[in-house]
Structure 1
Amino acid sequence: MGSGSEVDDDAVATSFTDLVADGAAADVSGWDFSWLDGRATEERPPWGYARAMADRLGTASASLDLQTGGGEVLAEAGRIPPTAVATESWPPNVAHATKLLHPRGVVVVNCADEPPFPFADNAFDLVTSRHPATIWWDEIARVLAPGGTYLAQHVGPASAFELIEFFLGPQPSGRRHRRPEDEVRSAESAGFEVVDLRTARLRIEIFDVAAVIYLLRKVVWWVPGFTVDGYRGRLRELHEQIQREGPFVAHSTRHLIEARRR
């Protein structure tokens, strides 16, 4: 990383151009972030969601994984219930999840991430989700059998906002969204008892602008309408900042929530 010394303008320009090309060409299908190895790091939450999810799947008879992405987390489970369904709305992820999960006996359903879910009342005893973009508590309660469990890892408030606000400017209203205490109230209103809630704030380090481009192409709701050409000026500023100061630091927030339908 940069030490604060002056850098040859042509070298910076060449490096910036190459990094932009790398980030723009990277495959962003699926929900596997291994392309970022060596380019960015993020602390992991202490509770181990994939392991907790696998434990619940081990005793379930009918499961639903909402907004499964590319199916990577669900595919890690050692046992899949006799009836297992996953939903996804983004076509590249649907194709990726189908390829990954069908051999495990999981039916992948291409449907919108909003009500009504295309499932009968009381159809599942376990509903899971990792980083859902939307949480429809009433609909989750409808498809869960009485006594059934919702286990999920949610994105918390102001997650990665240092990066988001670098491109969009201050987002004071956005910082109030996704607060875990609000989600607990919504869950309870839908007929759930929240039996576990844990929160974490996790450090992100981004080592080059290619990683930024990859993230903003993949996590499209962070900077809606992002294009390299549209944000080239800010990308260059961020590149030069990383050259001078070292990794760009942001923080993600996560919470684990387990709720039981009364």
Structure 2
Amino acid sequence: MTGPSAPSPSDASDARFDALVAEAAAVSVDGWDFSWLDGRATEQRPSWGYARAMAGRMADARAALDIQTGGGEVLASAPVLPPLTAATESWPPNIARATALLHPRGAVVVADSDEPPLPFGDHAFDLVVSRHPVATWWAEIARVLAPGGTYLSQEVGPESVFELIEHFLGPRPGTARAARDPQHARAAAEAAGLDVVDLRAERLRVEFLDIGAVVYFLRKVVWMVPGFTVEAYLPQLRTLHRKIESEGPFVAHSARFLIEARKPG
């Protein structure tokens, strides 16, 4: 007599795929904390250290605004917050998370649609910051900044993680490739009456070590593959899973730029 045959390599791979995808599809993606990806994905960090730079400016500010704060994690990392600190956020789960994190620090979180106008008066803040804003409303930033005030932001640059995006969506048109150019940000800031005092850009290596990391990332960063669900993109996920298992981590490149602008006065 012979016992049951061992699972074939393809059966074992399919079982791993199902387990990894099910795990990543079930975990919460609230907030802007990516610690779930520890050991499953890596990303180089920009050399300028946005959180450190932001914290330094917070320590010297009297009134500050963090636009599109997410779950408030980056703002909360600043050791010192100004006496008057506000943050805006549009997604209800993030609003609750940011409020719980920032309220004990004396900061208020304002529910906002992420469209102009900002819900604040003219010249309300001497510091405005934002990390990875979906859109930057330069005229509104200029309006709420006090004369002599500073805007500091780290933004997503052009063609960020396009290797992954194009695996799911196919080649992107030229308009998509040209979007989020740092020089466009400079021109828009200057058109709003601000002086750009720093502008730096870098491309950074990103590695996805398993398909669960890809699923989690696309669920969390929803604008990468709009409307992403496991069911809608199951063939592409299976193909990528096999590629990772046979070739090693899937490599992409993120684009980031730092822009700092000041309001004359």
Matched letter for residue 172 of structure 2 = Q
Corresponding position: 1:34 with 2:26:
no
How far does residue 78 in structure 1 lie from its aligned partner after superposition?
A: 1.1
Which residue of structure 2 aligns with residue 15 of structure 1? 16
SS at match of 2:136: coil
User: 1-side partners of 2:54 and 2:193: how far apart?
Assistant: 22
1:87 maps to 88
State the Cα distance separating 1:112 from its structure 2 match.
0.8
Query: Counterpart of 2:256?
Result: 254
The ranges of structure 1 where at least 4 consecutive aligned residues each deviate by more than 3 angstroms after the TM superposition are none
Q: How far apart are the structure 2 equivalents of 1:92 and 1:45?
A: 28
Cα deviation, 1:75-119, whole Å, max 9, x if unaligned, reads 011111011000000111111101100000010001111101110
Structure 1: tracts of 5 or more residues without a match? 1-6
**Aligned equivalent of 1:209:** 211
Deviations for 1:56-84, whole angstroms, at most 9, x for unmatched residues?
A: 00110000000001100100111110110
Cα distance in 1, alignment partners of residues 96 and 52 from structure 2:
25
The within-5 A match list for 1:232-243 is 232-243=234-245
Which amino acid in structure 1 is aligned with residue 216 of structure 2? Y
The CA deviation at 1:9 is: 1.1
Q: What fraction of aligned residue pairs are identical, expressed as a percent?
A: 65
The residue that corresponds to 1:4 in the other structure is: none
1 or 2 for the larger relative contact order (CA 8 Å, sep ≥6)? 1
User: What is the CA distance between 1:26 and its match in structure 2?
Assistant: 1.3
Distance (whole Å) between structure 2 residues aligned to residue 212 and residue 166 of structure 1 = 11
Q: Report the counterpart of residue 162 of structure 1 in structure 2.
A: 163
| TM-score under structure 1 length normalisation | 0.97
User: Per the alignment, in what secondary structure is the counterpart of residue 16 of structure 2?
Assistant: helix
Partner residue, 2:3: none
The code of the aligned residue for 1:102 comes to: H
| SS of equivalent residue, structure 2 residue 188 | helix
The 1-side partners of 2:164 and 2:99 are apart by 32
SS at match of 1:194: strand
- CA deviation digits over 1:219-260, x for unaligned, max 9? 011101111011111100000000111000000010111000
Structure 1 Cα separation of the partners of residues 219 and 152 of structure 2? 28
Q: Distance in 2 between matches of 1:95 and 1:152?
A: 23
CA drift at 1:147: 1.0
Structure 1 residue 146: deviation in Å? 1.1
1:227 aligns with 2:223: no
Aligned to 1:194: 196
Query: What is the rounded CA distance, in whole Å, between the counterparts of 2:112 and 2:183 in structure 1?
Result: 29
Cα-to-partner distance string for 1:104-159 (whole Å, 9 max, x where unaligned): 00100011111011100000000000000000000000000111100010110010
Q: TM-score, normalised by structure 2?
A: 0.96
SS of alignment partner, residue 45 of structure 1: coil
Aligned to 1:3: none
Q: Give me the whole-angstrom Cα distance separating, in 2, the residues matched to 1:30 and 1:138.
A: 27
Supply the AA of the counterpart residue of 1:12: S
Partner residue, 2:116: 115
Q: Which amino acid aligns with 1:16?
A: F
SS in 1 for 2:60: coil
Separation in 2, partners of 1:236, 1:26: 20
User: Which protein is bigger by CA-based radius of gyration?
Assistant: 2
CA distance in structure 2 between the aligned counterparts of 1:231 and 1:157, rounded to whole angstroms: 24
- Residue correspondence of structure 1 range 116-155 to structure 2 within 5 A: 116-155=117-156
SS at match of 1:58: helix
